[in-house]
Amino acid sequence: MLEEAAAELFLEQTYEGTTIDDIANRAGVSRNTFFNYFSSKSDVLWVDLDETVSALGGILSSRSANGNVLDDVEAALTRVASEHPSHRVPWALTQVDLMGTRDVLLSSGMVRLLAVTEMISSFIRGRSGANAHGATVAGAVTAAAATAAARWAGDGVGRGSLDAYVREAIAPIVTGFAPYF
């Protein structure tokens, strides 16, 4: 209810023109109820992707320690993307101009990108020790996967599967860094 109310209001009066009280009122709940589900207004923009990304840690930890670390990162990211419901395209990405969400997506997205980068970097450190390239690989694959997700969202109804976009985007990074791992 809250997500739908927010989407309607952002389309009607833009992100900046909408308050948390507006969202709660439209959804028929209290302001406190809003904060039971979201810590900020910008969190509403990320519902779909936050749910998908939250699975990444478990997928990474389930990877066998016997495999190649970069192959495991690639497999984990493509699996997370493949498990994202294809019909759940984040409206905040597809309606950026109508909702006026560009600036808030950039700022609130950075926190999420850094969290994913740290999750992947930690996985690489745990498997490869203090490899000088681990943090670089983590940052590069995170940026590539995020760019792929944005491209996927922007491709409209003819888009393919998210995992195909992610695989295509991160494969050159994994291949390029393979000699170092």
Tell me the per-residue pLDDT of 59-103, one tens digit each, with 9 for 90 and over: 999 987 888 999 999 999 999 999 988 778 877 778 888 899 999
Residues 93 and 143 in one domain: yes
pLDDT at 85: 80
Q: What whole-number distance in Å separates Cα of residue 149 and Cα of residue 113?
A: 12
Number of neighbours of residue 105 by Cβ within 10 angstroms: 19
Q: Do residue 95 and residue 169 come from a single domain? A: yes
Asked whether the CA dihedral 12, 149, 132, 57 is positive or negative, the reply is: positive
pLDDT of residue 35: 97
Predicted local distance difference test score (pLDDT) of residue 135: 95
User: How many angstroms separate the Cα of 91 from the Cα of each of 86, 109, 112, 154?
Assistant: 13, 14, 17, 10
Provide the residue range defining the domain that includes 71. 42-180
Q: How confident is the model at residue 74, as a pLDDT?
A: 97
- Residue 110 neighbours by CB distance under 10 Å: 10
User: Which of helix, strand or coil describes residue 6?
Assistant: helix
DSSP for residue 123: H
Considering the domain architecture, whether residues 73 and 15 belong to the same structural domain is answered as no
Residue 35 and residue 51 in one domain: no
pLDDT tens for the chain, residues 1 to 181: 999 999 999 999 999 999 999 999 999 999 999 999 999 999 999 887 888 888 999 999 998 788 899 999 999 999 999 998 877 887 777 888 889 999 998 889 898 999 999 999 999 999 998 888 999 999 999 999 999 998 998 888 888 899 999 999 999 999 999 999 9
CATH of the domain at 11: 1.10.10.60
Compute the mean pLDDT over every residue in the chain, rounded to the nearest whole number: 92
Same-domain pairing of 19 and 73: no
Specify whether 17 is located in the same domain as 100: no
- 103 and 116 fall within a common domain: yes
In a shared domain, residues 35 and 47: no
What is the residue type of 132?
Answer: A
Are 72 and 52 in the same domain?
yes
The CATH code of the domain that includes 100 is 1.10.357.10
Q: Which residues of 62-85 are buried (b: 16+ CB within 10 A; e: fewer)?
A: ebeeeeebbebbbbbbbbbbeebe
Q: What total number of domains does the chain contain?
A: 2
User: pLDDT value at position 50?
Assistant: 84
Are residues 94 and 7 part of one domain?
Answer: no
Other CB atoms within a 10 A radius of the CB of residue 144 amount to: 20
Helix/strand number for the chain, H first, E second: 11, 0
pTM, 2 dp = 0.85
Half-sphere exposure of 64 (CA within 13 A, CB side): 3
Q: Are residues 149 and 65 in the same domain?
A: yes
- 24 and 96 in a single domain? The answer is no
